[in-house]
């Protein structure tokens, strides 16, 4: 095939400036290795640094072409079919544009990228609940599942953030619901799960993400961790099981931590609490396997995002931050998307024979042999 002579750009329903990264829904783009910056391909969108004063041409084929009419070494691809011809997206100095494509790609986003086939996670049309999904890891999980075609319901204590998150998820061509809910309030939390499953029309995936982050060692920290991390997960499972049992590919994923696996910052409630979550999920896996339901755990290491724990430590406890950074052989901390990718895989039918696992996502931070 011959690349088109003119730039083509999928008509977008929203264009706005956003920090340092360009998020492109329903468009897949890849930056050449020669470009200085970040080029991280995720499920159905890309976070990438864009060089100043460059224009990208989005081409309508499923092949990757060198961007024409601009003097930069970038490769881009558009997987949409409805396009607006002869239009270029211009990027000024350090300007970044977030595009939400009005023309949604068909299928589940497993398009071929120049000889490469993305795995089909078979998530399109699945129904998912994610707790604590308005920030950081939880938000990345919700966005990733929605990007794979899951209808989704989210909760958190901050109703305003839930509303904003639901509005954003709704732009991805899926059903999105949400409400303010507290996992420590058993009755109301279970009622919300029931309501969310009914709104979604069923439930295939339950992700228990909420944590009290109980880093202290006093009794209050132990109680907070038990109520939020352990019982919050138990309540999420209890509320979701009746709906998961009606499907044929039920999946439960809980978020734990490598702090459960090694001595980490001394005696802390957090370490033992996360160990309890892993033990609970392992026992749950063998209990519900005969019902066609899987239960797995993901243990993120040091994950950095603005406003997160490690951002706070960088500002308030720089020595601890630098020590943690130096301990990781990769030389950097992870991102919420790294965890979200692992969760999406474990939650998906593509991982149908993975059950009772604890997937550590830490860049080799933990030193134990992972038997």
Across 32-162, the runs of DSSP E, i.e. the strands, are 39-41, 46-48, 54-56, 65-66, 74-78, 84-85, 89-91, 97-101, 127-131, 151-156
Please name the residues in contact with 190: beta carbons below 8 A apart, sequence gap of 6 or more. Answer: 235, 238, 239
3-state SS record for 48-86 = ECCCCCEEECECCCCCCEECCCCCCCEEEEECCCCCEEC
Catalogue the active-site residues: 270
Which token pair is 340? 């979200």
Contacts by 283-290, CB closer than 8 A, 24 or more apart: 284/237, 284/252, 285/355, 285/356, 286/356, 288/241, 288/250, 288/252, 289/355
Across 160-235, the runs of DSSP E, i.e. the strands, are 176-180, 205-208
């Amino acid at each position: 095939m011959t690349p088109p002579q003119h730039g083509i750009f999928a008509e977008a329903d929203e264009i706005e400036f956003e920090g340092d990264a360009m998020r492109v829904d329903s468009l897949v783009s890849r930056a050449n290795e020669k470009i200085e910056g970040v080029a991280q391909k995720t499920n159905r969108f890309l976070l990438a640094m864009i060089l100043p004063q460059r224009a990208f041409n989005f081409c309508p084929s499923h092949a990757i072409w060198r961007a024409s009419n601009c003097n930069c070494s970038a490769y881009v691809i558009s997987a949409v079919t409805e396009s607006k011809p002869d239009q270029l997206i211009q990027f000024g100095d350090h300007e970044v544009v977030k595009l939400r494509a009005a023309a949604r790609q068909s299928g589940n986003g497993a398009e071929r990228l120049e000889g490469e086939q993305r795995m089909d996670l078979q998530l399109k049309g699945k129904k998912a609940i994610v707790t604590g999904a308005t920030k950081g890891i939880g938000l990345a999980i919700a966005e990733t599942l929605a990007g794979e075609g899951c209808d989704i319901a989210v909760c958190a204590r901050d109703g305003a953030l839930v509303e904003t998150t639901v509005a954003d998820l709704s732009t991805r061509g899926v059903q999105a619901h949400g409400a303010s809910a507290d996992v420590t309030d058993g009755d109301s939390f279970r009622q919300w799960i029931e309501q969310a499953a009914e709104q979604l029309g069923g439930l295939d995936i339950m992700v228990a993400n909420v944590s009290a982050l109980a880093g202290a060692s006093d009794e209050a920290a132990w109680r907070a961790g038990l109520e939020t991390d352990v019982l919050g997960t138990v309540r999420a499972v209890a509320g979701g099981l009746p709906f998961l049992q009606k499907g044929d590919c039920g999946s439960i994923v809980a978020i734990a931590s490598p702090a459960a696996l090694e001595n980490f910052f001394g005696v802390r409630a957090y370490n033992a609490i996360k160990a309890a979550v892993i033990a609970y999920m392992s026992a749950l896996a063998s209990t519900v396997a005969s019902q066609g339901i899987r239960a797995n755990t993901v243990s993120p290491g040091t994950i950095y995002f603005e406003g997160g724990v490690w951002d706070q430590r960088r500002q308030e406890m720089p020595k601890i931050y630098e020590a943690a950074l130096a301990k990781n052989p990769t030389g950097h901390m992870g991102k919420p998307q790294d965890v979200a990718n692992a969760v999406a895989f474990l939650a998906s039918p593509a991982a149908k024979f993975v059950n009772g696992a604890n997937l550590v996502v830490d860049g080799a931070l933990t030193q134990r042999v992972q038997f």
